[in-house]
Structure 1
Amino acid sequence: MPQLSKYGIHRQIKQDEIPLQFAEGQEFHSVENKKDIFSGVNLRIDQQGFILYWEFKNNSRGMFYVFFDEIIDARIPTIKHPRVDGFNAMEVVVNKDYTHFEYFTFTHSKLEVIESWSDFIFAWATKQRQTYRNVLHYVKKFAAPLIWAQNTQQIVHNAYQQSIQHEHNINDKFSKDLHSVKASKKPLTDDEALAIYNNLIGRRAELESLYKQIAKPKDKITVETFEKFLNQRQRDPRLNEEWYPPKTMSQTRKLIHNLMGQETDNLSYHGFCKYIMSDMNSDVDTAELKLKQETMGHPISHYYINSSHNSYLIGNQIIIAKALPNTDRECETNTEMYHQILLSGCRCIELDVWESSSGPVITHGPIALQNINVVPLEEVCHAIEESAFKTSDYPVVLSIENHCGPEQQKIMSQLFKKIFGDLLQIEELPDYPLCNTKGYLPPPCALKRKILIKGSKGKFGGPKFIERTLFSSKRIVETVGKLKTTSTAIVKLDEGRIMMSEGGSERHVELSLSKQHKEEFKQLHHTDSLETDGILRDLINYFQTTPKMRDNDPFFWMHSGSESKISNKIYDCSTTLIHHTVRHVLRVYPDLDRVCSTNFIPMYFWTAGCQMIALNFQKNGLPMQMNDTLFEENGRSGYVLKDDCLRYETSKVDIYDNTIGVANRVEISIISGQCLSLLTEGTTKALKTQVLVELYDLPKDTIREQQTTVLAPESDKITYYSNNTFVFPKVIKPRHAMLHFRVLDGSGKEIGQRFISVHLLRQGYRQIILRNRANRPMGPATLFVNCNVSIYTPECQAEVRKQLIDPLSSMIKQREEVLALMDPLRKISCSSSKV
C-alpha cells in the first residue's frame, strides 16, 4: 500500500502561495505520447497557481500550459513509456469531463524530484477545484498564461485544448482582451482584474443604478448605509441571529478598508463592484460546502452516497447503440474511468466481472455477443487502490456483478486481498456485530480508508441465479437531433434490429450481427449475479444484497432495483420505503433500455431516502449536473447527510405531502447576464438569450419549463432581461431541493446552466457563475440576480412573514405600539408638536 504523500490529501494544503521551488521551476523531459517525442523542458507553476506551464529548451515552440482546475491527478505510473527507461516519470492527467482526458508525461533522473512535484501538483489542483470562486478569479485565470509568457511575441498554447477539440473554447475568445498584460510577469490585483473586466463588457447600468439606490440620499455609500445593505439585503433571514449575528459597524468598516485599499468610511462605485464580483459575495454558502467531520458519525444508511453505474464504460451500454440517433461514442472498457470517478469523490463503483481464459476480466458482457474490449481485473484493482482515497478518506463500496464460477471467484478474492491489503474490510467491526440483526450500519468515520465488497452471499433460499432479459422490450425514447425539439422517436430492440417509430411511420435499422448472434440476441438471458462461493463470500459483510426488501431484514442486507421498480414502490407507499431506508441501504440503477447510457433524474429517489443513485458518469447532462451539485457538499467526500425527516424510524413522511417540514419561499429576479457569448461556438455577434428558472423538489412543488424571461439581445457582452421576477411560493423541503438556472439561445439550445441547492442559496444581489453541460464552471460568464429567500408563511399571515424577514424593524414597531398603549397621550402630544 503506498504511503501518504508529503502533502497528503488536499485538506492538508494550507499555503495560499506557490513555494519557490515550483515557481522558479526545474528542468524535466517532456514525453509527447502521440508523437513519441522526448524533449527537454523547463516546468513551472505561476505565482498564483493558475497554470502549470513549460517551455522547450530551444524556445522555438512557444509556451505550453494547462489550467490547474482542469488537472485531476498527478501520478507516478507503474508502467513506463519505453522512451523513459532509466528515468522516473510523472503523469499529469487533465480532463474536460469524465470521458475526455489526456496525459502529459514528464521525466527526471531523481525520484525525489518527481515525487515532490507530483505530490504538490495533485494537492494544489485538488484544492483549486474544491475552492469556490467568483468573477474576478476567472479574469485572473485567463490572464495567467499571457502574463507568464517570456515576451510579447511568444506564442502561448493551451496544451490540452490543442490536443482535444472541446465544444467551447472560452479561453481563446477571452484572451483577445488581455494582451495588455502579456509578459508582464506580475500577477493581477483585484483592481487590475476589475479594470480588464470592465473594458471587456463596458458600462454596467444595473450596477450603477443599484449603487445610487443604496447611497441615497448621498452620492457615496457610507459605512452606515453599507452596514444596512449587508444586514437587510444581503443577509439570509433564515439564519438565527444569536448563532449568526449581523455585521457590526466595525466589521463593515474593515470590509470597506479592504475593498478600497485605504482607511475610509466611504465605499466608491469601483469598490462596490469589487465586492459584487469578489469571492466574498458568492452565490452559495461556501461554509456549507466544506467537510463537516462532526457529522460523519451517523449510520451509513443516513447518507446519500455518490454512486456510479457501469463505472468501467466509455460510451454506450451496448455496442449496437451506435446505430441510434444522437450517439457518437461506442462502447469501450477503460481502466482510467475508475481513476476519474474515484477522484471525483464517488464512493460506490461497479465491477462487472466475467470469466476469461486468462482470469477474471472487467467488461460489459456477455463477451461473445457484445464484443467489447476487456481489461484484467488485476489492472482495475490497482487503479482502485491507487485512487480510492486520494480525495476522500471515507469508505469505498465495490458493487460486484459477478459472472464467474467458483475457480475464478477464488482468483478474484485473492486479487482483492493481495492488492487492497489492509484497505479491505474483511472482518466485522466489534461495535457493529452482524449477529445483532436489529442494529445499525457502521458510520463512515468508523470505516475510514476502507474498501467494502457489496454482493450476494446466496442465503435467500432462491435459485442459484436470478434471470433477467438482456434487452427490455420497453420503449426507449430518444430525441432525434435533426428533428424539432418536440419530436421524438420511439425505439425498440428486437431480434437483432432496431425499430424506430416516428409520427406513425416505422423504419428498421438492421444490425451487422451474424445469424448465430441474432438468435442469441433474440433469446439471450444472463445472470444478474451468480451465487458467490467460498473465499469471495467471506469478503462480504455490511453490504449483503437481497433480491427482495422485507420489513425484518437484518440491517446489513441491502437491495438494488431499477429506476422503474423503485419508482413504483415510491408511488405505492413512499412512507414504507423511507422507513426501510433508515436502517437499510437501497441502490437504484438505470433501466436496462437506456442503451445509450442516458440517466434518470435522481431527485425523486433522494426525496424517498434512497442512498445510492447509481448514474452513468460517462453521460453529461441534467441528471449528472444535479448529482455533482449535491455531492459538492461536505467537502466532496461522497457522503451527504440526509434530512432529519428521512433518518428516524418514528418519522411518517410521505413525499406527496406538502407539510413535511419548515418550507421556504423563494423569489428570484434575473437582472442581467454577462459574457454569455463566450459560451457559444464561433463569433456570434447578435446573440439573443432567455433564462429559464426551474425548481426540483418533492412532486407537489417541482416546477419545470414555466418560469422564463423574454428573449433579450446581448450588447457589449451584457444582456438585460425584462419580465424577470419568478416566485416559488412554497418550497416544501428546502434542504437539497434545487433551483436550476438555464440560459437558452434563440433556437432554444441550452448554452449554460447552474444548479443551486435552496438551503445554500444566498440572499441578495449575487453573480451566479454559469456552468457547461459537464457542470464545469464557465466564469466569467454569469447571471446577475437578486435572490429573496425566507421562511414560508401562508398569505393570510403576510405580517408574520414581514417580521421574519426584517425582525429588527418589527421589534421597533412592536416597541412603539407598547409605548403607545402605556402612554397614549404621549403620541398625541408628539403629533401635535410637529404641526
Structure 2
Amino acid sequence: MTPMWRKYSRCGALKFLFSLSKTKSVKLKCDTSNSGTLEDLEIEEFYSLLTKREEIDVIYAKYAKTEGEMSARDLLDFLLNEQREQKHELDEAAKQKKRMTKDGFVMYLNQEDGCIFNPAHSPVYQDMSQPLNHYFISSSHNTYLMEDQLKGPSSTEAYVKALMKSCRCVELDCWDGPNGEPIIYHGYTLTSKILFKDVIRAIKDYAFKTSPYPVILSLENHCTVEQQQLMAHHLIDILGSALVTKPLGDTMPASLPSPEELKGKFLVKGKRLNKLDAMFSNNNTTVEEDSVSEEDEAVDCKENDQKAKKAKIKLAKELSDIVIYCKSVHFGGFEHARDNQSFYEMSSLKESKAFQLADASGKLRNSTAFIHHNMDKLTRIYPAGSRTDSSNYNPVPMWNVGCQIVALNFQTNTKEMHLNQGRFLPNGFCGYILKPEFQRSPSSQFNPQSLTEGPWLQKKVISAQQLPKLNKDKQNSIVDPLVKVEIQGVAADNDKKTTHHIENNGFNPMWNTKFEFPISVPELALLRFVVEDHDSASQNDYIGQYCLPLTSVRNGYRHVPLLTKRGDIIPSAGLFVHIMLMDQK
C-alpha cells in the first residue's frame, strides 16, 4: 500500500506544506540526519506530524472498534449516528477487508461527502416551472460601476463580473451621449461613461455562461426619444431572438412565465406606454405621458438641483414595445396595487421606503400585505443614492417579506454580498431560488414579526486548518484566530456568537466551543461562519468566511471551506465543526 504522504507529494501538497512558517520547527525535528532535506522515513514522519488532527483522533477512536480500524459496520454507525446519512452502500465502496484507516477517514471528512453544504443542492434541484415572482432573483444595482458612485470608473467588465456570479438582473443607467449614441454612467457625477451598445454586446456574450435562466435588463432611462429609438435598435439587433419582444403564447397570459420557459432569454424592465393586452386586441391606444426615471436615484446625488428633480422625458414607442413582462409602475400602496396593478407591472422601492413598508406591514395585527403583494407581483429594492461609497443594505429583511429583486452593489465585497452569495449558493448557483411555500401560497398567514417556536440548531466549532497569513511580507505574521457564528433570518432568529481567540496559531487552532441557536423559520435562515484575526488594540482583521442557507446544511461532523472577501475559495483552509439541527418538540 502506497503511504499517504507519497500520494500527497505527487500532487504537490508537501511543497505547499513546506512553505508554511509553522513547518520550520517540525522540519528541523524530523531532519535526524542533519542534511537540511527530508528523505524517505523522515518525510513520512514529517507528514504524520503536520497532518495530526487530535479532534479527529477522538472521533476515530470512538468508532474504530475493529482491531483499531474502522470496519464497514463501524463507518455505518458513524454515518447514521453523527452524519445522519443513509445513502452510503458501504459494501460496494469498501476495499478488501471492508475497513477504513484513519487516513482514509480524514480524506472522507475533507472531501465533498464531509462538507457542510449538501451536495444534493449543488445542481439545479428546485422546481423551475413556477412563475418568475415565486423566486428570489440575484440582482445588481449600478452594475456598470467598478468602484464608488461619484468618480469611479464605469466598465463593461463590471457586467461580466456580475453575470459570472450568476447575477440575473443587471441595471443600465442610460443617458444621451455624443454622436447620437446613448451612454451608460451614474448621472450628475464624475463616473466615466461607456457606450450602451458595448454593454449590450458584453451582456450577450456572458449572460448564460454560468446560468441558463433569464436575465432582466433594468433600464433607468434618461434619454431623448431619438436615442431611445437607437437603444431599442441595439437591443433588438444585438440580442436577436433571445430578446423577449412579445408574450410567449398566442393569448393574453394571466401570470408571469417561469424561468424554465425563459431559458436563454432577456427581459427588458422599463416604462411602457400601454397595457400588455393591447398586443392581443385592436386597441393600439397609447398613453402619451411624461416620465421620469423610476428610481430618481441619480438625482439623489444632486439634492439641491430642482431642475434635475423636475426633468421629464418622453418615451419612445420602439423602446416601450419591447417591455413585456417587467413594466415599471409607480408604487401607490398595497391596496392600490391589489386593485390596479397587473401581474406584469412591477415597482422599484428605495431601501428606506421598503424597510418602512416591511416594518409597518409586520406590526399590523394579522397583516401580511407586503408578502401577499409579492406573491403575484415582482418588486425591486435598490440602495439609497446617499450610499456614494457603493455600500449595501442588509438584503435579508427584504427576502423575509418575499421581495424577489433585492439589488446590491456587486462591486462591494462586504457582509451583505456574502449573504447574497450564501442565499444563491444552492440550486446550481443559477441566480434563482424558489421562495418557501408560505411566501407563495395565497392562503398563507406567515408574518416574519409573529412567529411560533421552531427547531434548535446546535453547533460546535471544533478546529481550523491552515489559515492564511494576513501579511505575507512579515516573516512571523501568525494570526490569533477566532470564529464568529451568525444566524441571519427573520428578526427572532438573528443571533451571533463568538469563540475565544487562539494565540499565534493559524495552522491548526482548536476551540471546542459549543453554541445553541433557537430557529423559528429555518426556510429563511442563513448560517454564516466568519474567521477573524484577533486584535486587542484595533478592529479584528478578516481572514475568511462561508455562508449558506440553513436548509442546505448537513448534520454531523463537517468541513467548512473558507472564502476570501471576493468570494474565492482559500486553498487548504477550513473549519471543522459539529452541526445538529433538532426539532424542539
- Which residue number corresponds to residue 394 of structure 2? 601
Q: For 1:605-647, what per-residue CA distance to the aligned partner results, in whole angstroms no more than 9, with x for missing partners? A: 1111000011111110111111112222211221111100001
C-alpha displacement of 1:270: 1.9
- Which residue number corresponds to residue 464 of structure 1? 291
Q: Quickly say closer, same or farther: Cα 1:270–1:390, change in 2 above 3 A.
A: closer
C-alpha displacement of 1:534: 1.4
- Which residue number corresponds to residue 423 of structure 2? 630
Q: Quickly say closer, same or farther: Cα 1:559–1:684, change in 2 above 3 A.
A: farther
Unmatched tracts of structure 2, length 5 or more:
28-42, 275-286, 363-367
Q: Quickly say closer, same or farther: Cα 1:431–1:658, change in 2 above 3 A.
A: farther
Q: Quickly say closer, same or farther: Cα 1:442–1:141, change in 2 above 3 A.
A: farther
C-alpha displacement of 1:314: 0.8
Q: Quickly say closer, same or farther: Cα 1:200–1:458, change in 2 above 3 A.
A: farther
Residue number among 290, 298, 312 corresponding to 2:144 in the alignment: 312
Residue number among 560, 564, 580 corresponding to 1:788 in the alignment: 580
C-alpha displacement of 1:144: 8.6
Q: For 1:670-717, what per-residue CA distance to the aligned partner results, in whole angstroms no more than 9, with x for missing partners? A: 11111124455444454311111110010111113xx11111134481
RMSD across aligned C-alpha pairs, in angstroms?
A: 3.1
Q: For 1:385-417, what per-residue CA distance to the aligned partner results, in whole angstroms no more than 9, with x for missing partners? A: 111222222111110000111111111111111
Task: Tell me the secondary structure at the aligned position of residue 338 of structure 2.
Answer: coil
Q: Quickly say closer, same or farther: Cα 1:781–1:469, change in 2 above 3 A.
A: closer
Residue number among 655, 658, 666 corresponding to 2:457 in the alignment: 666
- Which residue number corresponds to residue 345 of structure 1? 166
C-alpha displacement of 1:286: 1.2
Per the normalisation by structure 2, the TM-score is: 0.84
| 1:695 correspondence with 2:483 | no
- Which residue number corresponds to residue 335 of structure 1? 156
Computing the radius of gyration from Cα coordinates, the structure with the larger value is: 1
Residue number among 210, 214, 217 corresponding to 1:395 in the alignment: 214
% of aligned pairs identical?
Answer: 29
Q: Quickly say closer, same or farther: Cα 1:677–1:536, change in 2 above 3 A.
A: closer
Q: Counterparts in 2 of 1:743-754, with a 5 A limit?
A: 743-747=531-535, 748-754=540-546
C-alpha displacement of 1:146: 7.7
C-alpha displacement of 1:268: 1.9
Residue number among 549, 555, 572 corresponding to 1:763 in the alignment: 555
Residue number among 380, 383, 397 corresponding to 1:587 in the alignment: 380
Q: Quickly say closer, same or farther: Cα 1:398–1:172, change in 2 above 3 A.
A: farther
Q: Quickly say closer, same or farther: Cα 1:216–1:753, change in 2 above 3 A.
A: same
- Which residue number corresponds to residue 777 of structure 1? 569
Q: Hey, what's the Cα distance between the residues in 2 that align with 1:610 and 1:196? A: 56
Residue number among 498, 502, 509 corresponding to 1:708 in the alignment: 498
Q: Hey, what's the Cα distance between the residues in 2 that align with 1:429 and 1:678? A: 54
Q: Hey, what's the Cα distance between the residues in 2 that align with 1:558 and 1:404? A: 21
CA contact (8 A) 1:399 1:453 kept: yes
Q: Hey, what's the Cα distance between the residues in 1 that align with 2:241 and 2:18? A: 45
Q: Quickly say closer, same or farther: Cα 1:447–1:715, change in 2 above 3 A.
A: closer
Residue number among 365, 369, 381 corresponding to 1:576 in the alignment: 369
Unmatched tracts of structure 1, length 5 or more:
1-135, 148-169, 180-193, 237-245, 258-262, 320-330, 473-492, 496-520, 794-835
The alignment covers a number of residue pairs equal to 534
Q: Quickly say closer, same or farther: Cα 1:273–1:567, change in 2 above 3 A.
A: same
Greater relative contact order (Cα < 8 A, sep 6+): 2
Q: Quickly say closer, same or farther: Cα 1:352–1:267, change in 2 above 3 A.
A: same
| 1:619 correspondence with 2:409 | no
Per the normalisation by structure 1, the TM-score is: 0.60
Q: Quickly say closer, same or farther: Cα 1:700–1:529, change in 2 above 3 A.
A: farther
Which residue type is aligned with residue 390 of structure 1?
K
Task: Tell me the secondary structure at the aligned position of residue 532 of structure 1.
Answer: coil
CA contact (8 A) 2:216 2:267 kept: yes
Residue number among 315, 326, 348 corresponding to 1:560 in the alignment: 348
Q: Hey, what's the Cα distance between the residues in 1 that align with 2:251 and 2:527? A: 39
Q: Hey, what's the Cα distance between the residues in 1 that align with 2:80 and 2:145? A: 50
Residue number among 506, 530, 533 corresponding to 2:316 in the alignment: 533
Residue number among 164, 173, 176 corresponding to 1:355 in the alignment: 176
Which residue type is aligned with residue 515 of structure 2?
F
- Which residue number corresponds to residue 213 of structure 1? 62
Task: Tell me the secondary structure at the aligned position of residue 579 of structure 1.
Answer: helix
Q: Hey, what's the Cα distance between the residues in 1 that align with 2:291 and 2:490? A: 40
- Which residue number corresponds to residue 32 of structure 2? none
Q: Hey, what's the Cα distance between the residues in 1 that align with 2:117 and 2:297? A: 45
C-alpha displacement of 1:373: 2.1
- Which residue number corresponds to residue 284 of structure 1? 117
Which residue type is aligned with residue 302 of structure 1?
H
Q: Quickly say closer, same or farther: Cα 1:714–1:675, change in 2 above 3 A.
A: farther
CA contact (8 A) 2:458 2:517 kept: yes
Residue number among 117, 125, 133 corresponding to 1:301 in the alignment: 133
Q: Hey, what's the Cα distance between the residues in 2 that align with 1:556 and 1:740? A: 35
CA contact (8 A) 1:677 1:684 kept: no
C-alpha displacement of 1:665: 1.6
Q: Hey, what's the Cα distance between the residues in 2 that align with 1:454 and 1:785? A: 44
CA contact (8 A) 1:468 1:528 kept: no
Q: Hey, what's the Cα distance between the residues in 2 that align with 1:381 and 1:171? A: 48
Residue number among 258, 262, 267 corresponding to 2:100 in the alignment: 267
Q: Quickly say closer, same or farther: Cα 1:683–1:376, change in 2 above 3 A.
A: same
Q: Quickly say closer, same or farther: Cα 1:338–1:525, change in 2 above 3 A.
A: same
- Which residue number corresponds to residue 416 of structure 1? 235
- Which residue number corresponds to residue 466 of structure 2? 675
CA contact (8 A) 2:65 2:71 kept: no
Q: Quickly say closer, same or farther: Cα 1:381–1:741, change in 2 above 3 A.
A: same
C-alpha displacement of 1:463: 5.1
Q: Hey, what's the Cα distance between the residues in 2 that align with 1:298 and 1:623? A: 27
Q: Quickly say closer, same or farther: Cα 1:173–1:431, change in 2 above 3 A.
A: farther
